[in-house]
């Protein structure tokens, strides 16, 4: 489902047939895959969690997020993740809100939109996730741990059951994008 090369990563995708699928389970979100880097967020049981330069979103109904990406037809991927219960016992699932609530909006700090997600995965699945600073590193660990269930797309423009190739990026590009959003925010 996920593979990577030196300068790119590939995901097998199919179109999201029903948005109600997002109301259950855990979904890693890559929003704006036409941009480098995309925005990374999480949906847990129909609740949307995100840290951005504008706002921290804690458990908003997924419908709000879907309405926002629909306005601009923002190409988005939804990657289904196995529940903790499907993994050998590691204790109960600690909810996404706990991790997102400990972060402020993105700014001059070192954290990115992926930071609370890496923390969430490190505490609920495997400590190895704590080292993921870009989404393709997190996906590589998830693939190795056999956690990736499926990848659905919305506004991507591909036929059902295809692959999408995305460019890799560096942490420097994440900082540059955050800074450009901050500049727009204060203009």
Mean pLDDT of the chain: 89
Give pTM, 2 decimals.
0.90
- Residue 93 gets which letter from DSSP? P
The full set of domain ranges for the chain reads 2-83+96-185
User: What mean pLDDT do residues 111-134 have?
Assistant: 95
In order of 29, 116, 174, the CA distances from 22 in angstroms are: 11, 20, 27
Q: What percent of the chain has pLDDT over 70?
A: 92
Contact 147, 7 (CB under 8 A): no
Q: How, if at all, do strands 39-44 and 148-154 pair?
A: unpaired
């Amino acid at each position: 489902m996920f593979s990577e090369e030196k300068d790119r990563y590939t995901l097998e995708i199919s179109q999201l047939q029903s948005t109600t699928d997002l109301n259950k389970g855990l979904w890693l979100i890559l929003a704006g895959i036409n941009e480098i880097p995309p925005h990374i967020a999480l949906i847990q049981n129909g609740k949307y969690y995100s840290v951005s330069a504008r706002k921290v979103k804690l458990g908003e109904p997924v419908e709000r997020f879907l309405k926002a990406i629909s306005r601009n037809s923002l190409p988005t991927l939804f990657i289904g993740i196995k529940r903790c219960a499907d993994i050998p016992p590691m204790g109960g699932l600690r909810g996404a809100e706990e991790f997102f609530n400990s972060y402020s909006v993105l700014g001059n700090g070192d954290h990115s939109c992926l930071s609370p997600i890496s923390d969430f995965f490190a505490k609920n699945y495997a400590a190895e996730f704590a080292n993921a600073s870009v989404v393709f590193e997190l996906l590589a660990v998830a693939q190795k741990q056999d956690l990736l269930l499926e990848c659905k797309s919305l506004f991507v423009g591909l036929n059902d059951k295809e692959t999408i190739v995305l460019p890799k990026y560096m942490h420097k590009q994440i900082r540059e994008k955050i800074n450009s959003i901050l500049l727009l925010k204060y203009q």
